[in-house]
Structure 1
Amino acid sequence: MALKLYPIGIQTFERIRKEDKLYIDKTEYIYRMAHTSGTYFFLGRPRRFGKSLLVTTMQSYFEGKKELFKGLAIENLEKEWTEYPVLHFDMSGGKHMDKEQLEEYLDYRLQEEEKKWGITKPVKGANNRLIDLINTAYEKSGKQVVVLIDEYDAPMLDVVHEKEQLDMLRNMMRNFYSPLKYSEAKLRFVFLTGITKFSQVSIFSELNNIINISMNDEYAGICGITKEELLTQMSEDIDELAKSQELTREETIAELKENYDGYHFSAKSPDVYNPFSLLNCFSTREFGAYWFSSGTPTYLIKMMRKFKVMPTNISRMYAKSSAFDAPTENMTAITPLLYQSGYLTIKGYDKFSKLYTLDLPNKEIKVGLFESLLPNYLEGMFAQNGDVAIAQMSVLIRQDNMDGALQLLQTFLGTVPYCNVTNYEGHYQQMLYIIFSLLTGYVVDVEVHTPKGRLDIVMLTHTRLYIIELKLNKNAQAALQQINLKNYAQRFALCGKPVSKVGINFDSSTGNIEDWVIEE
């Protein structure tokens, strides 16, 4: 049997079903949500995680298009197939806009819906027009109205770091969404998706009965592809990829897991794979960084600068849900944005302390994030051959040739135009941490505690453990003496691998490695 084509770039359920492309069945979740006592629902998920497809699936369901659901879970669950009037607003096109542009965009979106309901002379004001739309749809159909708003926060995300602009656009969107509360009696179902939770948009501050399912165990697998879905609904795709990559099925599954798995959206979430990366990987038959290369949001990098985020801080941490499932505009740390954007995810939960463990989801995110951060630690002048140099370093370290790797790094850093004198040892520690973290498959940690002090960097490869101490404007021998004097190696005596001690000295006037010494 031929494999179904992948719906890459297609977010419309009706089109996917009519063209018989691959669809991972999420309809049981929709039935469940539509048959609870709630009316208003919000789901937050990272970009390209299938939110728009979910919304268009809901649209087809509430429009009663039973024929599109043949063979899916909901076919056996739904007995009535009532046709409701549906208002669907996709706000994803409202990015990078000022006040006037956003007003025009809302006008355009409202016009689309007004045409469907025969409104030729709309009233003034976006909120009044939405009230009118709901009333007209309700009266003409004789049924309560369904309102679906995809990426409700898109107009605000890009200005999250600019308070004045954020306040202005947020007030506009608050005004636009306000009828959703006012018209409650005429609404059957309201569903919003987004990346972040803006508390001061009316939907959250005024609608006290909105159900946020973003961290609900019951809906943890509603977007993305769960491990079970991958192994059952995409089993043949795995076999084809394995054949193409000349790997066993088990090796292929392990490779997919390392690169694209690792997302958890609640305390008891199943393993969730990134759907965009997974489908692209199956389509091209290559393990690439698809989600990350599709664009790092500018707002994220700007917010990381605003909060002065150190790369070493983007790693395993412990937090209460209030610290990361928090309104974006009230953030006192970068954690909520990293979690909501998909760069951190839940890796564990302790029900007694109610503490969540957060960490980078997988290899694709770790490599992609550090690659986008590296230019900041090379004065914004990251040479184009940086990824090549790092790949070559990885090969040398895998061959236990740390000396060759440091020579290569010294040569590479010598090609980077250097502007500012950095008399701060931590800067070089962060830079090396990023570079070593980009070396394939190695465990890297900084400021590692030992009985006699803290080590700058520790790196565990497949064959050996490296203890690395840095100095600035001194000499490498002084760094090595510190390792030996404080007997740092003893702390790792039981690691089961040979230990190499590496002293590195940087020169702040050149921003490069001056000398190094390695002791086995």
Structure 2
Amino acid sequence: MRPLDVPIGVSDFKALREGGKYYVDKTEFISDVLRAPPQVLLFPRPRRFGKSLNMSMLKYFLERSSEDRRPLFEGLAVMRDQDNLAHFQQYPVIYTRLGTVWAGDRVEARETLREEVRRIYEPHAYLLTEGALTPHERARFLEIFERRADEALLGSALDDLSRFLHRYHGKRVVILVDEYDAPLHLSQVHKSFAETVELIRKFLHSGIKDNPHLFKGVLTGILRVSNESIFSGLNNVVTYSILRSECATSFGFTEEETKKILRDADGHDQFERVRIWYQGYLFGEQSIFNPWSVLNFVHQSDVRFLNYWARESPSDFSEELIARWFTQCYEDFEKLLREEVIEKPIQDHIALRDATNHQETVWSILVMTGYLRAEAVDQREEDEDGEPLCKLSFPNREVRGRFTRIFKRWMEAGIGGKPGLAELELSLLEGNAERLAVLLEGFLLKLSSYDRAPKDVEAHYHVFLMGMLVTLEERVFQVKSNGESGHGRYDVMLIPKRPGLPGVVMELKVLPASGSKVPSKAKVDAALDAALLQIETLEYAQELRERGAKPIHEIAVVFSGKRAWVRSRRASPRRLPPR
């Protein structure tokens, strides 16, 4: 491929255009914002989907400036619409990125917000020398400039500055707030949510609630935090989430845009693999590619499919939630890893304060942050809150890979880290039934969901066992379940990566659990014998023989509550006639 000079890490629109970087035209977003009836618009999108670049683009188009910025937009879609040109460089713009506000605690949040507000005021320092301020206003402006502002002054900073600018320019202002929710995510991790919400709410409210000096407000973030927190009382904010069709193509790349990028990079023959790795997001009804990953892919001369988005996205609040709810949502997570679809009601407004206490919030957060694809299905009567029911799955191979690594880290921790994983592997390779039973029981004790008795008890344990064994997939075995071999379908099979290595076929049985009462030894022995007889009679080991596995361990596993029993033997060397 021919590497393209793409804007990796460049979020300043002017620097991108003047630097001659490759650009996918997203200036229709300007038209969409100007045409949209709401005064204040919020666009929640996953990280690395071009939010900051689009906000910078809006700033350079709408902001009053002595320089002619037409060259920045030459040849782009926005310049072909006369209605847009009526707004070109017409407004004073207040631009802030709240990603600079760190909320480890209230003091840190206040100090970093004080610094960000100073940065907001700095481009408008001309107001101090133009006689545009009263003595009282000038004093307030200087308090901010000299980093002496208290919380009350920080809370009114946007209202004050918009009033000053409106009066001076005779034009209402545009307020652009990028990464508005960044301090809230950090505050969740550091347990300072309530204090941070109060500080950020006052700051934002002063600029976008009932502000007569406001022409248009645009906010971007990852989530739409619900009304009872940051947006309490802000009825003029309309959210354009990924569940809506409006502005669906403004963030991320469409299929046609991606095909053009690949053609320009002489990589059109890689489109199908790029689609598998980086497409799959659904915004409205539009299928969207991850722009960060696509641009990183064409930035190199060799063809390398890597986890670009996953690699550059730090561990975040979403991953904290996955760890928090893993045991309770275990079956759903494991189904997703097996590329099955689950159905959940999805909200586009998130109560972050409830995220660690209410399981249903987890799925909405994972959708909005880009970990899951949500495809809406018809609402059903049982959806009491009226939330749309969605089919959830991983959008692509890249995201599935990241989730698999999170899953494996948790599973490894559950069996004692790397040593426990090595012990599990050795137990299977040797057919060590006694040690395998100890490992299975130890891990069952960590999963609180196994205190319950679901409708399909055997499937419940099947999911558990498959989740545990998937940690070995990249090491020794290919892990398969419910496959055909011999005269029937085995429960679990571990196929060696190459001939001559041990293979394993497993049959599961479940005995009813009654409180702390343990099934009798006779019942357990009978179940173990039945499982081994089933493996032998139906020739479940046939596929392993055909794959050259040596030796083959036939393993029976019996579960009851949080107890596990295991019996193992080596399969006989006989073979069935070829099928």
In structure 2, the gaps of 5 or more residues are 126-140, 382-387, 451-460, 484-488, 497-503, 511-523, 541-546
Matches within 5 A, 1:231-246: 231-237=259-265, 239-240=266-267
- For 2:427 and 2:271, the matched residues in 1 are separated by 31
In structure 1, the gaps of 5 or more residues are 243-248, 394-403, 449-453, 490-497
Residue 346 of structure 2 corresponds to residue 327 of structure 1: no
Q: 1:296 to 1:30 in 2, by over 3 A?
A: same
Residue 295 of structure 2 corresponds to residue 279 of structure 1: yes
Matches within 5 A, 1:306-317: 306-307=324-325, 308-314=327-333, 315=336, 316-317=341-342
Report the equivalent of 2:222.
Answer: 195
Contact (CA 8 Å) 1:476, 1:503: kept in 2 or not?
no
Residue 343 of structure 2 corresponds to residue 318 of structure 1: yes
1:420: how far off?
Answer: 9.2
1:155: how far off?
Answer: 1.0
Report the equivalent of 2:443.
Answer: 422
Residue 179 of structure 2 corresponds to residue 151 of structure 1: yes
- For 2:289 and 2:219, the matched residues in 1 are separated by 22
Residue 127 of structure 2 corresponds to residue 93 of structure 1: no
1:445: how far off?
Answer: 7.0
Amino-acid identity (%): 23
- Whichever residue aligns with residue 69 of structure 1, its letter is F
Contact (CA 8 Å) 1:131, 1:183: kept in 2 or not?
no
Matches within 5 A, 1:289-304: 289-304=307-322
Residue 7 of structure 2 corresponds to residue 7 of structure 1: yes
Q: 1:444 to 1:228 in 2, by over 3 A?
A: farther
Report the equivalent of 2:51.
Answer: 51
Report the equivalent of 1:255.
Answer: 273
Contact (CA 8 Å) 1:292, 1:364: kept in 2 or not?
yes
Deviations 1:308-332 (A, max 9, x none): 354541322223343x654333442
Report the equivalent of 1:398.
Answer: none
Q: Which has the larger radius of gyration?
A: 2
TM-score by length of 1: 0.76
Report the equivalent of 2:73.
Answer: 69
1:436: how far off?
Answer: 6.9
Residue 407 of structure 1: which of 392, 415, 429 is its match? 429
Residue 79 of structure 1: which of 54, 74, 85 is its match? 85
- Whichever residue aligns with residue 50 of structure 1, its letter is G
Residue 394 of structure 2: which of 357, 360, 363 is its match? 360
Residue 211 of structure 2: which of 184, 188, 194 is its match? 184
Contact (CA 8 Å) 1:311, 1:373: kept in 2 or not?
no
1:174: how far off?
Answer: 1.1
Residue 172 of structure 1: which of 188, 194, 199 is its match? 199
Contact (CA 8 Å) 2:375, 2:391: kept in 1 or not?
yes
- For 1:291 and 1:386, the matched residues in 2 are separated by 28
Q: 1:303 to 1:203 in 2, by over 3 A?
A: closer
Q: 1:436 to 1:132 in 2, by over 3 A?
A: same
1:409: how far off?
Answer: 11
- For 1:286 and 1:84, the matched residues in 2 are separated by 45
Report the equivalent of 1:245.
Answer: none
- Whichever residue aligns with residue 317 of structure 1, its letter is I
- For 2:92 and 2:123, the matched residues in 1 are separated by 10
- Whichever residue aligns with residue 407 of structure 1, its letter is L
Name the SS of the counterpart of 2:371 in structure 1.
Answer: coil
- Whichever residue aligns with residue 166 of structure 1, its letter is F
- For 2:2 and 2:197, the matched residues in 1 are separated by 48
Contact (CA 8 Å) 2:470, 2:479: kept in 1 or not?
no
1:76: how far off?
Answer: 0.4
Name the SS of the counterpart of 2:471 in structure 1.
Answer: helix
- Whichever residue aligns with residue 292 of structure 1, its letter is A
Deviations 1:457-512 (A, max 9, x none): 69999xxxx98544799898654546789x999xxxxxxxx9x999545799xx99
Contact (CA 8 Å) 2:201, 2:231: kept in 1 or not?
no
- Whichever residue aligns with residue 42 of structure 1, its letter is L
- Whichever residue aligns with residue 280 of structure 1, its letter is N
Contact (CA 8 Å) 1:41, 1:212: kept in 2 or not?
yes
- For 2:254 and 2:430, the matched residues in 1 are separated by 41
Q: 1:221 to 1:298 in 2, by over 3 A?
A: same
1:385: how far off?
Answer: 13
- For 2:275 and 2:46, the matched residues in 1 are separated by 18
Residue 339 of structure 1: which of 360, 367, 375 is its match? 367
Name the SS of the counterpart of 1:156 in structure 2.
Answer: helix
Report the equivalent of 2:164.
Answer: 136
Name the SS of the counterpart of 2:280 in structure 1.
Answer: coil
Residue 232 of structure 2 corresponds to residue 208 of structure 1: no
Contact (CA 8 Å) 2:557, 2:566: kept in 1 or not?
yes
Name the SS of the counterpart of 2:156 in structure 1.
Answer: helix
1:94: how far off?
Answer: 2.5
- Whichever residue aligns with residue 100 of structure 1, its letter is V
1:366: how far off?
Answer: 1.1
Report the equivalent of 1:40.
Answer: 40
- For 1:204 and 1:488, the matched residues in 2 are separated by 63
TM-score by length of 2: 0.69
Name the SS of the counterpart of 1:219 in structure 2.
Answer: coil
- Whichever residue aligns with residue 207 of structure 1, its letter is L
Name the SS of the counterpart of 1:379 in structure 2.
Answer: helix
- Whichever residue aligns with residue 467 of structure 2, its letter is M
Deviations 1:76-127 (A, max 9, x none): 0223214211111111123452211111111111111222222334464211
- For 1:17 and 1:444, the matched residues in 2 are separated by 51
Deviations 1:298-351 (A, max 9, x none): 4223222322354541322223343x6543334422211211111111245447
Contact (CA 8 Å) 1:370, 1:437: kept in 2 or not?
no
Matches within 5 A, 1:509-520: 515=568
Contact (CA 8 Å) 1:507, 1:513: kept in 2 or not?
yes
- For 2:9 and 2:566, the matched residues in 1 are separated by 45
- Whichever residue aligns with residue 216 of structure 2, its letter is F
- For 1:516 and 1:134, the matched residues in 2 are separated by 78
Deviations 1:110-146 (A, max 9, x none): 1112222223344642112222111112222221111
Q: CA RMSD in A?
A: 4.6
Name the SS of the counterpart of 2:188 in structure 1.
Answer: coil
- Whichever residue aligns with residue 22 of structure 2, its letter is L
- Whichever residue aligns with residue 141 of structure 1, its letter is H
1:261: how far off?
Answer: 0.8
Deviations 1:149-195 (A, max 9, x none): 11111111134366x52112111111211113445221111111111
- Whichever residue aligns with residue 343 of structure 2, its letter is Y
- For 1:159 and 1:259, the matched residues in 2 are separated by 33
Contact (CA 8 Å) 2:479, 2:492: kept in 1 or not?
no
- For 1:445 and 1:370, the matched residues in 2 are separated by 17
- For 1:173 and 1:438, the matched residues in 2 are separated by 45
Count matched residues. 470
Residue 148 of structure 2 corresponds to residue 120 of structure 1: no
1:234: how far off?
Answer: 3.9
- Whichever residue aligns with residue 94 of structure 1, its letter is V
- Whichever residue aligns with residue 329 of structure 1, its letter is R
Report the equivalent of 1:435.
Answer: 471
Contact (CA 8 Å) 2:282, 2:373: kept in 1 or not?
yes
Residue 253 of structure 2: which of 205, 209, 225 is its match? 225
- For 1:408 and 1:234, the matched residues in 2 are separated by 49
Name the SS of the counterpart of 2:47 in structure 1.
Answer: coil
- For 2:122 and 2:208, the matched residues in 1 are separated by 24
- For 2:565 and 2:288, the matched residues in 1 are separated by 41
Contact (CA 8 Å) 2:91, 2:173: kept in 1 or not?
yes
Contact (CA 8 Å) 2:175, 2:218: kept in 1 or not?
yes
Q: 1:32 to 1:301 in 2, by over 3 A?
A: closer
- For 2:328 and 2:12, the matched residues in 1 are separated by 38
- Whichever residue aligns with residue 365 of structure 1, its letter is V
